[in-house]
Amino acid sequence: MDDRPVLTVFRSRLREDNVDEYRRTAKRMEELARAMPGLLEFKTFTAEDGERVSVIIFDTPEHHAAWRTHPEHREAQRQGRDSFYAAYDITVAPVDHRRTWPD
């Protein structure tokens, strides 16, 4: 069984309408993710051109799957497609190697 951490890179561009509702939902999703077992990292950055990038790492595929399929997260995903995002791209991959300095 593969017990490597799982990295998700979520790139998105927001629609101009519903920004306030998006912010409330995004805040709730971050709170929920931080409460999930196995979360190692959750960071979001916004580029000068408006693209948003979130980096999320879970310690195991099972913990990642629990987050991915959480009912509240599923509903937020639906809202994102229907109301929040002009475009998005999701990359999910096992982490083959990770080095930090200092440890």
Q: Does position 1 have pLDDT exceeding 60, yes or no? A: no
For the residues 94-103, what does the mean pLDDT come to? Answer: 90
- For residue 18, give both structure tokens: 């519903």
| Tens-digit pLDDT profile for residues 4-57 | 999 999 999 999 998 999 999 999 999 999 999 999 999 999 999 999 999 999
CATH number at residue 38: 3.30.70.100
The answer to whether residue 103 is domain-embedded is: no
The answer to whether residue 44 is domain-embedded is: yes
25 sits in which H/E element: helix 19-35
Domain extent at residue 78: 6-94
- For residue 54, give both structure tokens: 């979130």
pTM of the model: 0.90
The amino acid at residue 49 is D
Residues 4 and 90: beta-carbon distance below 8 Å? no
Name the domain count of the chain. Answer: 1
The answer to whether residue 52 is domain-embedded is: yes
The answer to whether residue 101 is domain-embedded is: no
The answer to whether residue 72 is domain-embedded is: yes
Tell me the DSSP string of 31-50: HHHHHSTTEEEEEEEE-TTS
- For residue 31, give both structure tokens: 């709170």
